Amino acid sequence: MSLEVINPRIRGFICTTAHPTGCAAAVQEQIQVASASRPEAPHGGNALIIGASTGYGLASRIAASFGHGMRTLGVFFEKAPSGSRTGTAGWYNSAAFHAEAEAAAIPASSINGDAFSDAVKQQVVERIKSGSGPVDLVVYSLASPVRVHPETGETVRSVLKPVGETFTAKTIDLGKDEVTQATIEPATEAEIAATVTVMGGDDLRRWVEILLGEGALAPGARVVAYSYIGPRVTWPIYRSGTIGHAKQDLEDTTRELDRRLQEAVGGRAWVSVNKAVVTQASAAIPVVPLYVSLLYDVMKEQGLHERPIEQMVRLFNEHLVAPRTPAVDEADRIRMDDWELRPDIQAEVERRWEAVTTANLDKLSDYAGFKSEFRRLFGFEMEGVDYSAPVETEVSLPL
C-alpha cells in the first residue's frame, strides 16, 4: 500500500505524474458517454485495439465495449507504479477500464508491451486463439515516437520537422503561456525515412499479415488506422512535414491491405482522419497547441466540439460497426474531421490566428480549456475528485 497526495508535475508538454482516482473518473466519464449511445441490441463481436490506453485508442475501446458490447483485447505499453513514482496515466486508465468492464460483465483482456515487436504480436495471436476467437475489428491507434525495428533491432526515432525549407510560425510557449514564434529547420532525407519507419504503415502491415497468416481475423473483419490531415496553417509542420510523409505511407499501406483483406476474408481496411484534440502526442507538435486552442473556442461556440470519446462514438455508430458501410472521400478515407474543416470554422480560426497575441490569447482562444484538457489526460482537474486527499498509487492491472 502506498498512499500519497499526487500533484501534477508539468514541464511544457510533459507531465511526469498521474492521479489514479482522477484517471478512473475520466474513464467513468467516457463510459457514460458511450453507454448513452448503446443500441437496444448491441452488435457484439471481438475487437483488437492497438494503442488502447490513452486518447483515441482508449476512447475506441470504451466505445466498442460499452457502446456495442464488444469483447476487447487491448495492447499498450505503460509503466506500473514503482516506489515513489506513480504509474503512467495509461496504466491507471486501463486498470479503471478493466474494473468497469468486469462490473458490467463485458469481457476484456490486455497485453502490456511494445506493440512494434514481433513478440507482442505473437502474444496477441496466442491470446486470440486461446480466448475469444477471431477478431472482427482491429483499431490501430499507435502514437509512439520511437520504434525498435523487429528485423534489424535498430532503434529508430521520428522527428517533427518541415520538409524542403525552414518553417516559421506562431506557437505557444507552454512553459510561459506566451504566443511566440517557432522556427524549425527542414528534415534531412534520413530523418524523413526514419519518421516513415516509425509512424508509417509498415507496422500496421506486419500486424495484418500475422493476424491473417494465423487465422486470427474473422470473415468480414474490418481494420481502421487513425490519421490526421489538419488545416493549411499546420501543413508545413504536419501534412507537408515528416509526419505527413509517414501518414501518406500509412494511407497507401492501408489501401493495399484493403485489397488483401477483401481477397482473404472478405474484409476491409480504412484510414479514419480524426479531429484535432489534446493528446500527449499533439501537445508536443509545434504550432498545434495554438491551433487547437483557437479551434476549440470556435467549435464550442458553434456547438460542434468533440472530445475523443464523442468522436469515437460517432465513428463507431455511423461508420465502423457492421453492417454499416463507411462514407469515404475520394481517397477512401473516413473523414471524422469533417466538422473541424468546415469552411466557416476554418475561416474564423484563420482570422483569429492572424490576430492572436499573448495579450489577447485568452480572449480569442480556449487556451484555458487546452491546459485543462491536458491536465485531465493525467487525471487532474476532474470534478468530484479531492486532490488534497492521499490516494493509493499501487493500482494493479490484470494482464
Strand intervals (E) in the chain: 3-4, 10-11, 14-15, 46-50, 71-76, 108-112, 135-140, 146-148, 155-157, 167-173, 178-184, 217-227, 268-273, 333-335, 391-392
DSSP-assigned beta bridge partners for residue 335? 273
Report which of 297, 264, 265 is spatially closest to residue 373, judged by C-alpha positions. Answer: 297
Report which of 285, 142, 307 is spatially closest to residue 227, judged by C-alpha positions. Answer: 142
How far apart are the C-alpha atoms of 331 and 131, rounded to whole Å? Answer: 36
Neighbour-count burial of 384, counting CB atoms closer than 10 A to its CB (0-12 exposed, 13-18 middle, 19+ buried): exposed
Write down how long the chain is: 399
Please tell me what DSSP assigns to residue 55.
Answer: H
Is residue 58 within 8 A of residue 97, CB to CB? The reply is yes
- Supply 378's cell numbers: 493525467
Report which of 301, 207, 326 is spatially closest to residue 257, judged by C-alpha positions. Answer: 207
- Supply 19's cell numbers: 492521479
Neighbour-count burial of 357, counting CB atoms closer than 10 A to its CB (0-12 exposed, 13-18 middle, 19+ buried): exposed
How far apart are the C-alpha atoms of 331 and 282, rounded to whole Å? Answer: 24
How far apart are the C-alpha atoms of 357 and 79, rounded to whole Å? Answer: 38
Please report, for residues 71, 127, 154, 205, 234, the alpha-carbon distance to residue 220 in angstroms, rounded to integers and kept in the order given: 17, 20, 35, 18, 37
Is residue 172 within 8 A of residue 180, CB to CB? The reply is yes
- Supply 391's cell numbers: 490516494
Q: Residue 292 belongs to what H/E stretch? A: helix 288-301
The catalytic site residues sit at 238
